[in-house]
């Protein structure tokens, strides 16, 4: 795609996201059918979620709890009184011919979420608040499988699986506050992080537990009115969200620059060709003829209940990031990596609480320990034999100079696989660092006596031979000589 460079900077993108999140309850929103993913089609169904006449839905209280907790974590106002509505439309995956959703009185509104963009080169973090317009509860529809085409149109036959019908969803709508693909991808990731911290959703994009639709328009910089917006669907990774938006920004700017009109439409992201393609035009808004769901009573959340749920909220990722920087002195980058997953963050905090120097513990966790976890999928941070107190002991042995970093790395595989006290291992194997000057000096004397040729080279100006001598001393002491002290003593001796 070719776009004249000067034209691009004269436009800005306006981006908002609508996210559907599956709430992690064991049963559906209005019946007792299981929500387990991947079951044999049409085995997790009952008269309620199949839309049989005469049945009555009953709200799963866990769904309300999870929606309210998500709303609180997104800094929303929780409605003391809200209700369900029927959104009426026909589609073969919707057995009732209407979806139970929330219309004018959503459970949560007017919140915000903070995104943080870290510049990889400078390590500087930029923070930005993205408004949350609303969060409401609704039921999911079923799943259609088409034969002969990937869409209903053009297929020779279609099959329907109602296992998903009635699975609880929270729809979260953002304000159009984002200006780039990177901001939108970060918003979606932060949203998932928050929901996972709360334990209200697994946020698994591959299984459809987190689906993002993007609304995007471009306008000349300085213009107040929005341009015509296009909706993009079908992105199943954060990376795809970012690239779809970047593609769409270019496409729209190029079209406007060429004097074309942007059509209000829904476009699909094509992963293979890395572009968006038109799916259907969307002139005007559909009239779903919402009306209050007569089979469900109003939803009332008492102040006591609200306070109780609020008290159960964990410390959230952005709060942890700020605390790690201000209290523990970590960089924005380190704080971000450690807080991405709640279990990792809690392991790190337990290690620091057991007395570990924060930066050193962070380095070990983000480096060797993460690498080990990544290559051993059957072990998680929660089941790791190396406990936080063991890691604290290890970092303290390094910090105090009892063992070198190299010795710590040597014993790490054993610790990761079997756990145990690093101090006991070090003592049993005789790996304690040698910091006794006389012992190191004796080793240096032996090394210098054994390498007169190299000594002469050094004294003739080849000072980089220092590394050779350090290596020889290390070899002689089984890697246990204090490297700093060895360097210092060697330099003295060589320059005598």
Shortest separation between residue 28's beta carbon and Zn ion, angstroms: 5
Shortest separation between residue 260's beta carbon and Zn ion, angstroms: 48
Q: What is the dihedral of CA 346, 349, 353, 359, to 10 degrees?
A: 150
97 vs 427 by CB, closer to Zn ion: 97
Which neighbouring-strand residues pair with 367? Answer: none
48 vs 245 by CB, closer to Zn ion: 48
Q: Residue 468 to residues 174, 340, 437, 454, 494: CA-CA distances in angstroms?
A: 61, 42, 20, 9, 12
33 vs 397 by CB, closer to Zn ion: 33
Q: Should residue 444 be labelled a site residue for Zn ion when binding is judged by CB under 5 A?
A: no
Q: Should residue 21 be labelled a site residue for Zn ion when binding is judged by CB under 5 A?
A: no
Q: Should residue 33 be labelled a site residue for Zn ion when binding is judged by CB under 5 A?
A: yes
Token pair in block for residue 18: 């609508």
Span near Zn ion by CB under 5 A; candidates 42-50, 126-134, 325-333, 347-355: 42-50
37 vs 372 by CB, closer to Zn ion: 37
Shortest separation between residue 60's beta carbon and Zn ion, angstroms: 11
Q: What is the dihedral of CA 128, 131, 135, 140, to 10 degrees?
A: -70
CA–CA distance, 440 with 442 (Å, rounded to integer): 5
Question: Is 299 within 8 Å of 84 (Cβ atoms)?
Answer: yes
Q: Should residue 381 be labelled a site residue for Zn ion when binding is judged by CB under 5 A?
A: no
48 vs 490 by CB, closer to Zn ion: 48
In sequence order, what DSSP letters do the residues of 246-297 get, joined into one string?
HHHHHHHHHHHHTTPPPP-EEEEEETTTTEEEEEEE--S------EE-TTSP
Q: Should residue 59 be labelled a site residue for Zn ion when binding is judged by CB under 5 A?
A: no
Question: Is 483 within 8 Å of 474 (Cβ atoms)?
Answer: yes
Span near Zn ion by CB under 5 A; candidates 43-51, 145-153, 453-461, 487-495: 43-51
Span near Zn ion by CB under 5 A; candidates 29-37, 170-178, 229-237, 346-354: 29-37
CA–CA distance, 214 with 236 (Å, rounded to integer): 12
| β-pair type (299-300, 81-82) | antiparallel
Span near Zn ion by CB under 5 A; candidates 49-57, 301-309, 364-372, 449-457: 49-57
Q: Should residue 46 be labelled a site residue for Zn ion when binding is judged by CB under 5 A?
A: yes
How many whole angstroms from its chain centre is CA 437? Answer: 49
Span near Zn ion by CB under 5 A; candidates 48-56, 107-115, 138-146, 305-313: 48-56
Q: Should residue 49 be labelled a site residue for Zn ion when binding is judged by CB under 5 A?
A: yes
24 vs 342 by CB, closer to Zn ion: 24
CA–CA distance, 446 with 260 (Å, rounded to integer): 83
Shortest separation between residue 49's beta carbon and Zn ion, angstroms: 3
Span near Zn ion by CB under 5 A; candidates 30-38, 76-84, 96-104, 348-356: 30-38
Pick the binder of Zn ion from 15, 31, 167, 408 (CB under 5 A). Answer: 31
Question: Is 175 within 8 Å of 133 (Cβ atoms)?
Answer: yes
Q: Should residue 29 be labelled a site residue for Zn ion when binding is judged by CB under 5 A?
A: no
33 vs 470 by CB, closer to Zn ion: 33
Shortest separation between residue 59's beta carbon and Zn ion, angstroms: 13
Token pair in block for residue 182: 């990177």
42 vs 204 by CB, closer to Zn ion: 42
In sequence order, what DSSP letters do the residues of 379-399 get, joined into one string?
--TTT-SS-HHHHHHHHHHHH
Q: Residue 168 to residues 23, 87, 348, 488: CA-CA distances in angstroms?
A: 6, 15, 33, 66
49 vs 245 by CB, closer to Zn ion: 49
Nearest residue to 341 via CA among 376, 365, 375, 310: 365
Q: Should residue 366 be labelled a site residue for Zn ion when binding is judged by CB under 5 A?
A: no
Span near Zn ion by CB under 5 A; candidates 32-40, 82-90, 92-100, 331-339: 32-40
CA–CA distance, 104 with 85 (Å, rounded to integer): 9
State which of positions 91-110 bind Zn ion (CB under 5 A). none
Contact residues toward Zn ion (CB under 5 A) are 31, 33, 46, 48-49
């Amino acid at each position: 795609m070719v776009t004249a460079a000067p034209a691009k900077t004269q436009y800005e993108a306006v981006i908002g996201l609508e996210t559907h999140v599956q709430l992690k309850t064991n049963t559906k929103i209005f019946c007792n059918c299981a929500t387990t993913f991947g079951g044999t089609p049409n085995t997790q169904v009952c008269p309620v979620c199949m839309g049989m006449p005469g049945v009555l839905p009953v709200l799963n209280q866990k769904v309300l709890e999870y929606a309210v907790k998500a709303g609180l974590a997104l800094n929303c106002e929780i409605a003391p009184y809200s209700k369900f509505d029927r959104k009426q439309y026909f589609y073969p995956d919707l057995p009732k011919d209407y979806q139970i959703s929330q219309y004018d009185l959503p459970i949560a509104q007017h919140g915000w979420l903070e995104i943080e963009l870290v510049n990889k080169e400078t390590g500087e973090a930029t923070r930005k608040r993205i408004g949350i317009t609303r969060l409401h509860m609704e039921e999911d529809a079923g799943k259609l499988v088409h034969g002969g085409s990937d869409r209903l149109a053009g297929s020779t036959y279609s099959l329907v699986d109602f296992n998903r019908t009635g699975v609880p969803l929270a729809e979260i709508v953002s304000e159009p506050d984002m200006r780039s693909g990177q901001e939108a991808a970060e918003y979606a990731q932060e949203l998932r992080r928050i929901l996972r911290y709360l334990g209200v959703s697994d946020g698994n994009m591959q299984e459809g537990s987190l689906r993002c639709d993007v609304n995007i328009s471009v306008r000349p910089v300085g213009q107040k009115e929005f341009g015509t917006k296009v909706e993009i669907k079908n992105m199943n990774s954060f990376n795809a969200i970012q690239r779809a938006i970047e593609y769409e920004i270019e496409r729209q700017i190029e079209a406007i620059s060429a004097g074309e009109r942007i059509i209000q439409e829904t476009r699909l992201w094509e992963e293979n060709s890395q572009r968006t393609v038109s799916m259907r035009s969307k002139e005007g808004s559909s009239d779903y003829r919402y009306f209050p769901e007569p089979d469900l009573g109003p939803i009332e959340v008492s102040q006591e209940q609200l306070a109780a749920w609020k008290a159960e909220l964990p410390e959230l990722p952005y709060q942890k990031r700020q605390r790690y920087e201000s209290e523990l002195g970590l960089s924005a980058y380190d704080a971000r990596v450690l807080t991405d997953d709640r279990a990792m963050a809690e392991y790190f905090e337990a290690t620091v609480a057991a007395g570990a120097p924060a930066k050193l513990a962070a380095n070990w966790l983000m480096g060797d320990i993460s690498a080990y976890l990544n290559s051993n999928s059957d072990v998680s941070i929660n089941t790791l034999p190396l406990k936080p107190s063991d890691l604290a002991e290890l970092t303290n042995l390094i910090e105090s100079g009892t063992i070198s970093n190299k010795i710590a790395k040597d014993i790490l595989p054993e610790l990761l696989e079997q756990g145990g006290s690093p101090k006991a291992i070090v003592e049993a194997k005789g790996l304690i660092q040698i910091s006794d000057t006389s012992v190191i000096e004796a080793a240096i004397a032996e090394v210098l006596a054994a390498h007169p040729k190299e000594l002469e080279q050094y004294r003739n100006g080849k000072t980089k031979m220092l590394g050779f001598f350090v290596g020889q001393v290390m070899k002689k002491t089984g890697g246990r000589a204090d490297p700093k002290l060895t360097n210092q003593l060697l330099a003295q001796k060589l320059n005598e």
